[in-house]
Structure 1
Amino acid sequence: MKLLLTVMSAFCLMLPAAIAQDAEPLPPRVVAIDGNVWIAGQPSEAMFAAWAEAGATTVVNLRTARENGEVSFDGAVAAAEHGLAYSAMETGYEAGYSPEMVAALTDILDAAQGPVVLHCASGTRAANLYTAYRIERGDLAPEDAAEAHLAPHTDLNPEIMRMLSPRYAAAFPAE
């Protein structure tokens, strides 16, 4: 029995490494995948081709006009060159946050014909907006939002989440 437990313990310790080795690498700049939604940071122009090759059908750019002016290419043109649908939805900074942004994202996701890349500069705004979308649809309880692990580098921002999601705001009112 002791030998069996030792062997089982060793197997359980090796299992995560085996799963990680077999896991498909994420497409470029994609920091999280939840079903058909890929959360990503700012792509290079070449990454649109990589996303299309990986199966994406739609790109949603959440960066503001000011931010988009800082890159050397037009995302709408890059998407079109690779057969990707494209939407620009200014979010954050001077554009702020609102439940209307969640409604707009809902329309885009409902119309998409396959995987959607939702990107901002780092993926953080994309993760907050997509998490708010899931909460408002009833797919995710506000209490479970942090455990969805969609935000890169940081946790979800409670202040932003309250602005995007009335359900989140009701569960976690400002102090």
Structure 2
Amino acid sequence: MSHRFALGRRRLLSTGLLLPLLGNLPPAVQAHDARVGSLRLAHPYARPTPGGLRTGAVYLKAIHNNGEQDDELLGGSTPRAESVEIHAMRLNQDRMQMRQVERLVVPAQGSVRLRDGEAGHHLMLIGLKQPLRAGERFPLTLRFARAGSVQVEVWVEAAEGAAPADPHAGHAGH
């Protein structure tokens, strides 16, 4: 029976009939990466923004540096916003505080995460030209001191368990 299944699967793959089914996989299975120099950028994503909100945020599961020297994220750009800034969030006396930083060090043989819902870093989209909607994808160019520039595709994904227009689902607090 497993031989029959293998033949059936091979036929589906060879005829391209299985490809449309791949679009229905959950985001973790569809994760996408980009590479530049010794860096690997894992799964750039954003959360949907409510209409009228002029800011949004981009996160990455991780930026991995397999090189022997530190690199630095210097900033980015996208046609979807007027500017892109690197922001740091930290907990200070039970309150989250955010500030812009000029650069983010990606250590040699290490990694950094840009995650929503956590203290740490994210990329702030300033002056959104239109709201970010779940299911959309848009280009973002990131600039690194050593590796140079790389264009990534950002996937707009709703937070699990949150309504797309819920201001707490993404980064509406800015």
Fold conserved (TM > 0.5)?
no
More strand by share: 2
TM-score (norm 1): 0.31
Given the two structures, how large is their TM-score scaled by the length of structure 2?
0.31
* Structure with the larger RCO, 1 or 2 (CA within 8 Å, 6+ apart): 2
User: Comparing both structures, which one devotes a greater share of its residues to helix?
Assistant: 1
